[in-house]
A and B are shown apart, each in its own frame.
Chain A
């Protein structure tokens, strides 16, 4: 039921009403609304109940194990939240002069430094407001770099076929053609195909390491040599940074640009609990092109660098400093971990993933890359189960909800049939992992004794299966008043 369905004409909730009416005299006639705004008219209690009920229907990290591969759904520490909401941060106006904003600027400056240090990059800009915008910034800088050198023949970005869908999308948004290359049977980039693909039209290559197959790209240095040798630059998709945090640095592997999903690796809220933040880091040669504003320290004072300071910048991606509230949470999280805490994130993320992978293998589930050590995530293929019982990966995913587990990522990457991409993260206890194995085993038993129960799942949630085809083809996203 939508909040609009509770609406009755004339009903009011006073709590959010303005204290005094605002005069409209200064607003020119032509900008004034002629139609009523169409807000729902409900009592305060109705509003509270409606949203409380919706929040109770959520599957969230705060309520359930959430092993959604590639998304790093780990606990968002409340301490980071509390500190980011200190009144000095919360009430600062973005136009407040720099001399009254030294605290927040110092914090953001240190965040730039910490992110640069942990990724091995020379400089970081915090302004991209999501991972996708960070990717855009990174490839836009690669483009700006080639143009600044008068190197205009480079029209292609190379992307492995296991890449995140955002990678080719980013390349196209930046005006490039995408050249896809295969990966080999062990999950590594096919070097022969890469060598054949690079050339004078190569602008760069986008890579996730560890890859979306949940394995570390072992020949990354060779890849960097091949791409750089052809005059291209190397872009690191930071989606899977959690697995190597404090252990290995993209800058040391030879990457020229990287985006960092703060809502993954640095534990700020995801999605609906967001917004996101996707800072970008760069190597020496891309420094002049970083998006603005940047925070600089000069003689102990902090100030924002603008266009006049950085004439070659690709420009601005957001008003002000990006999503400062999110940046602050990541800052506190990094401070809480400290330098010595960061490798522990990677160690436990990897340990949890490998423990879970091993236990599932022992329970006779098929790992897609059994000979490889998992990074922070791994793939189970249910191809055999689907063939034998007709119960697919999607059925398992839906039935897992009844067992109180958010489904892993399903059918991604597509090159592994009937797959679940499972990422437990470092913040889960061993018991949660064991429960997951038990649930998977129980579902397999059900698929033999009572397949309908699995096929029709979920049974315990407010909604059952959705018509995904209709949702994709005819989305109904806007409420309209009944006529």
Chain B
């Protein structure tokens, strides 16, 4: 079982969110997701300023195995993207919860996190998926 940061939020499509405490959230893909994908070779990120709706395909992570969409975990506006991934997508493999972050987002409301899983729920979800 891959390690999970305790104070993050998670989606069923294996994105994580970290509350930065200043009204912004940071988004990435989980260790489980990067493990399934294998070595990443290319990352496409949303444009800064884009408004995302939950479930929108807002980016692509491509590995030696497959290309996979990244889905917007919440409604909100993209504030910044991790530019270093263009040259070093392997950061997602090496450090999915820190250096391999994808983008940061300003949520439309504080309520948005209510629909997401906490660490315990996501761990149970991973277990149920086998």
Contact = CB atoms under 8 A, between A and B. Distances in A.
| Chain A partners chain B | yes
What 5 A-B pairs are tightest by C-beta distance, nearest first? A472-B41, A468-B64, A411-B65, A414-B66, A469-B39
Contact of A472 (B57, B64, B69): B64
Interface residues of B, number: 15
Given A411-B65, A469-B41, 12 more contacts: A165-B67, A178-B57, A180-B57, A180-B69, A410-B65, A411-B38, A411-B66, A414-B68, A468-B64, A469-B39, A472-B41, A472-B42
B66 A468 contact: no
Nearest to B35: A417
A469 B64 contact: yes
Contact of A417 (B36, B42, B67): B36
A414 B63 CA distance: 11
Nearest to A392: B38
Nearest to B71: A180
A383 B57 CA distance: 27
A138 to B, nearest CB: 22
Interface residues of A, number: 13
B41 A473 contact: yes
B64 A414 contact: no
Interface string A393-413: 000000000000000001110
Interface of A: 165, 178, 180, 383, 410-412, 414, 417, 468-469, 472-473
A58 to B, nearest CB: 23
B66 A412 contact: yes
Contacts, number: 27
Contacts of B130: 383
22 contacts: A165-B67, A178-B57, A180-B57, A180-B69, A383-B130, A410-B65, A411-B38, A411-B65, A411-B66, A414-B36, A414-B65, A414-B66, A417-B36, A468-B39, A469-B64, A469-B90, A472-B41, A472-B42, A472-B62, A472-B64, A473-B41, A473-B42
A281 B83 CA distance: 45
Contacts of A410: 65
A411 B130 CA distance: 17
Interface of B: 36, 38-39, 41-42, 57, 62, 64-69, 90, 130
Contacts of B65: 410-411, 414
Contacts of B67: 165
Contacts of B64: 468-469, 472
Contacts of A178: 57
Contacts of A414: 36, 65-66, 68
Contacts of B36: 414, 417
Contacts of B62: 472
A466 to B, nearest CB: 10
Contacts of A411: 38, 65-66
A468 B41 CA distance: 9
Contacts of B69: 180
A383 B36 CA distance: 11
